[in-house]
Amino acid sequence: MPTPDTFPASSRTPLSRLAAVTVLIGIGAGLGAMMLALLLHFVQHMAYGYSLGQVISSESFLQGVSAAPASRRFLVLLGCGFVAGAGWWALYRYGRPLVSIRKAIGSPETRMPVPETVVHDLLQIVTVALGSPLGREVAPREIGATFAGWLSRRAGLSQEEGRIMVACGAGAGLAAVYNVPLGGALFALEVLLSTFSLAAAIPAISTAVIAAMVAWIGLGDEVQYNVASFPIGPSLVVWSIVAGPIFGLAAYGFTRITAAMSARAPHDWRLLPACLAVFSLIGVLAMPFPQLLGNGKGPIQLGFAGDLAIGFAALLLLLRLVVTLAALRAGGQGGLLTPGMTIGALLAVVLGGLWMLAWPGIPLGAFAVIGAAAFLASSMKMPITAIALIVEFTHVSHDFLFPMLFAVGGSIAARALCARHWDGKAPG
Nearest in space to 22 (alpha carbons), one of 192, 236, 172, 212: 172
Phi, psi at 333, each rounded to 5°: -120, 145
Structure letter (DSSP) for residue 265: -
| 354 CB-near residues (< 8 Å, 6+ apart) | 310
Q: How many Cβ atoms sit within 10 Å of the Cβ of residue 56?
A: 14
The pLDDT score that the predictor gives to residue 423 is 80
The predicted structure's pLDDT at residue 278? 98
Residue closest to 294 by CA, chosen among 141, 127, 50: 127
Q: Quick one: pLDDT at residue 143?
A: 98
Where are the domain boundaries for CATH 1.10.3080.10 in the chain?
Answer: 15-219, 234-423
Whole-number Å distance between alpha carbons of 351 and 349: 6
What confidence score (pLDDT) does residue 9 get? 45
List, as own/partner pairs, every contact residues 7-16 make where C-beta atoms lie below 8 angstroms and the sequence separation is at least 24, other chains included. Answer: 7/160, 7/161, 7/199, 8/160, 8/199, 10/158, 11/158, 11/160, 11/161, 12/158, 13/155, 13/156, 13/157, 13/158, 13/161
Give dist(CA 359, CA 304) in Å, integer: 20
Distance CA 204, CA 169 (A): 8
The SS3 of residue 135 is strand
User: Is 175 strand, coil or helix?
Assistant: helix
One-letter amino acid of 242: V
* pLDDT less than 70: residues of the chain: 1-12, 425-428
Give the model's pLDDT for residue 7.
47
State residue 10's pLDDT score. 45
> In whole angstroms, how large is the CA radius of gyration of the chain?
21
Pick left, alpha or beta for residue 296 (phi over 0 → left; psi -120 to 50 → alpha; otherwise beta).
Answer: left
Distance CA 156, CA 418 (A): 44
HEC-encoded secondary structure of 201-220: HHHHHHHHHHHHHHHHHHHC
Dist CA 286 CA 346 (whole Å): 17
Residue 109: its pLDDT value, please? 83
Q: What is the pLDDT of residue 11?
A: 52
C-alpha to C-alpha distance for 376 and 380, rounded to whole angstroms? 6
Task: Tell me the CATH architecture of domain 15-219.
Answer: Orthogonal Bundle (1.10)
Q: Would you list the DSSP string of 323-368? A: HHHHHHHHT---BSHHHHHHHHHHHHHHHHHHHHHHS--S-HHHHH
Please tell me the predicted confidence (pLDDT) of residue 425. 60
Looking at residue 422, its pLDDT comes to 84
Burial of 310 (0-12, 13-18, 19+ CB in 10 A): middle
Residue type at 256 in one-letter notation: R
Burial of 348 (0-12, 13-18, 19+ CB in 10 A): buried
**Which amino acid, residue 113?**
P
CATH number for 234-423: choose from 3.40.50.300, 1.10.3080.10, 3.40.50.10190, 1.20.1050.10: 1.10.3080.10
DSSP 274: H
